[in-house]
Amino acid sequence: MVLNTKEYEEKMKKSLSAYESELGTISAGRANPQVLDRITVDCYGAETPVNQVAMIKVADARTIVIQPYDASLLKAIEKAIQVADIGLVPQNDGKIIRIAFPQPTEERRRELTKQTAKLAENAKIAMRNIRREANDKAKDLSKKKEMTEDELKISEKNVQDITEKYIKEVDSVTDKKNKEIMAI
């Protein structure tokens, strides 16, 4: 009985998806509403994501417009964006908030590529941990004599192939993001 790798592949898929979503929060100079995904605002006593209390639109390549459903939340949203320290300055005109994405400097772009590299390494570590978990399971089955030595080797090779596939995918996503960041 060779180890069923579907469960571990699913976990790696989720890790990749989480990594891609984390990369989306890194601003590369273009207007990207995802940078606001982790920002919450105090809405009637409950911390609520900004995208649930306001309509967020991309006005042009470098500007996001935030229009709260309730005008009384305008100041709270503005303050939440400032406190989040995402490197963007909200401009409140009394009805909407505009966020202009500045063209990043060369130094800032290099910092962002270092940040993506760190996130990529964390994603790879997560995948290696999943590989270790799968291999431990296979070794356990082998010890219990539910799996032969050959089946153990096949299982380990299958898990390694899946791990390599997803690590290459992380590298590919990282390269794409870095090209986007370094593009002028």
Report yes or no on whether pTM surpasses 0.75.
Answer: no
Per-residue confidence in pLDDT tens, the chain, 184 aa: 778 889 999 999 999 999 998 887 776 767 778 888 888 888 888 888 888 888 888 888 788 898 988 888 888 888 888 888 777 788 888 888 898 887 778 888 888 899 899 999 999 999 999 999 999 999 998 898 888 889 889 999 999 999 999 999 999 999 998 988 887 5
Long-range contacts of 5-13 (CB under 8 A, 24+ apart): 5/134, 5/155, 5/158, 5/159, 5/162, 8/130, 8/131, 8/133, 8/134, 8/159, 8/162, 9/162, 11/130, 12/127, 12/130, 12/162, 12/163, 12/166, 13/166
What order of strands is seen across the sheet that includes strand 54-60?
54-60, 63-68, 97-100, 90-92
Q: How many residues does the chain have?
A: 184
* pLDDT value, residue 184: 59
Residue 94's region, left for phi above 0, alpha for psi from -120 to 50, else beta, is: left
Neighbours of 52 (CB within 10 A): 10
Q: What structural domains and CATH numbers belong to the chain?
A: 6-24+105-182 (1.10.132.20), 33-100 (3.30.1360.40)
pLDDT at position 159 is 93
Contact 92, 100 (CB under 8 A): no
CA pair distance 5, 141, nearest whole angstrom: 14
Give the per-residue pLDDT at 121.
96
Distance of CA 19 to the CA centre of its chain: 4
